Amino acid sequence: EAQVTQNPRYLITVTGKKLTVTCSQNMNHEYMSWYRQDPGLGLRQIYYSMNVEVTDKGDVPEGYKVSRKEKRNFPLILESPSPNQTSLYFCASSRVGRTDTQYFGPGTRLTVL
């Protein structure tokens, strides 16, 4: 089954404790992206990657890091989480090409205390 998986699905942590949210896709997609969803703001892009070792900032990259060492994986790293990073996070992937639609993961609910 074609899918994007994220782990963990729920995470409660404390300020400053480094964490990683994993994202993996099994569709051999070149393009992967991270979004955060906040009430009243919709989804906003954090980072994206067009292929292995190619990453770039989205609209709200501050406080986040990403890496793309393998085509299937695109982890989101919060080196020193803060309460304003409490949010719902989505990973998405697609083939490169304008006619494609992005496949979304199930979401990760992160709470930073």
**What residues make contact with other proteins under the rule CB under 8 A?**
31, 33, 35, 40-45, 48, 50, 58-59, 88, 90, 92, 94, 96-102, 104, 106-107, 109
Peptide bond into 75 cis (omega under 30): no
Q: Which is nearer to other proteins, 48 or 81 (CB)?
A: 48
CA dist 56 and 27 (Å) reads 21
Q: Which is nearer to other proteins, 54 or 113 (CB)?
A: 54
Cβ atoms within 10 Å, residue 12:
11
Shortest distance, CB of residue 87 to other proteins, whole angstroms? Answer: 12
Shortest distance, CB of residue 107 to other proteins, whole angstroms? Answer: 5
Taking a C-beta distance cutoff of 8 angstroms, is the pair 23, 90 a contact?
no
